[in-house]
Amino acid sequence: MSLRLPTLVLLLCALLGSSAGAQRPAPGPASARATSADTARDARLVRADRGRVRGKSDAVWIVVISDFQCPFCKKWHEETMPAIERDYVRTGKAQIAYMNFPIPGSHPNAVTAHELAMCAAEQGQFWPAADALFRTQRNWGSRSDLRTVLDSIARGLAIDQRRYTACMDSHEMRSLVDADYVRATQIGATSTPSFLIGGRPLIGAQPYAAFQRAIDAALAEQSKAAPKSGPTGAPRSR
């Protein structure tokens, strides 16, 4: 399995398919309202995209490719991720990002759960939503009244409930979930959880020691690639 992901954020750039700096004709009166609505939607998608990333922007990437209905993803999230956050993310050595990879064939309720998480991400609450979804996985994983159960979970989050309801009703975040799935497939992901650490793959809910080795190796590689500096920290002259 060969996983490579040069950049994650913004996944939205590929989704929107617009080139930076491209000029568009000025909208006429009839299209002004539609243009405004599109701009607002794009802003929400950007906030959601950024909302599932945390850590210093120049730190080593840890990309988590995961499914909220996957029991092994739950195990990793609850047993291994807290130590990674403690030792690497909070210390500024790593940044962590979540890629949605619901597998509907075996986890039929996963896609809607991922939509909830991304609706929460738009309000800056992705990680509390992820914690809640994994914590209650057995409660919603096989429910036929899924939306009712997920709405109950959402009420426990620090989010505007009307914005959340509008987001879920419109399925606005489905495009980000689908884009994540396509990209993860393109880079070689076939199972969950999978990870990219400094661009290198690590597969499965492995113990913390395996992640320690991979992250430390990525940090060493990053250090070697960093420009050399003089005693004062200024770049050396050539």
The domain spanning residue 185 has which CATH number? 3.40.30.10
> Which residues face 54 on adjacent strands?
96
In a domain, 226, yes or no: no
Find, among 59, 52, 94, 130, the residue nearest to 211 by Cα: 94
Residue 134 sits in which domain range?
Answer: 44-220
Tokens representing 224 are: 């070697």
In a domain, 108, yes or no: yes
Total tally of structural domains belonging to the chain: 1
In a domain, 29, yes or no: no
In a domain, 234, yes or no: no
Per-residue pLDDT in tens (0 to 9) along the chain, 238 residues = 444 443 344 443 333 333 333 344 455 655 566 688 889 999 999 999 999 999 999 999 999 999 999 999 999 999 999 999 999 999 999 999 999 999 988 999 999 999 999 999 999 999 999 999 999 999 999 999 999 999 999 999 999 999 999 999 999 999 999 999 999 999 999 999 999 999 999 999 999 999 999 999 999 999 998 876 544 333 343 3
Task: Please check whether residue 48 is in contact with residue 176, taking contact to mean a CB–CB distance below 8 angstroms.
Answer: yes
Q: How far is CA 26 from the centre of its chain?
A: 34
In a domain, 192, yes or no: yes
In a domain, 120, yes or no: yes
pTM: 0.83
In a domain, 161, yes or no: yes
Sign for the CA dihedral angle at 13, 17, 18, 19 comes to: positive
In a domain, 79, yes or no: yes
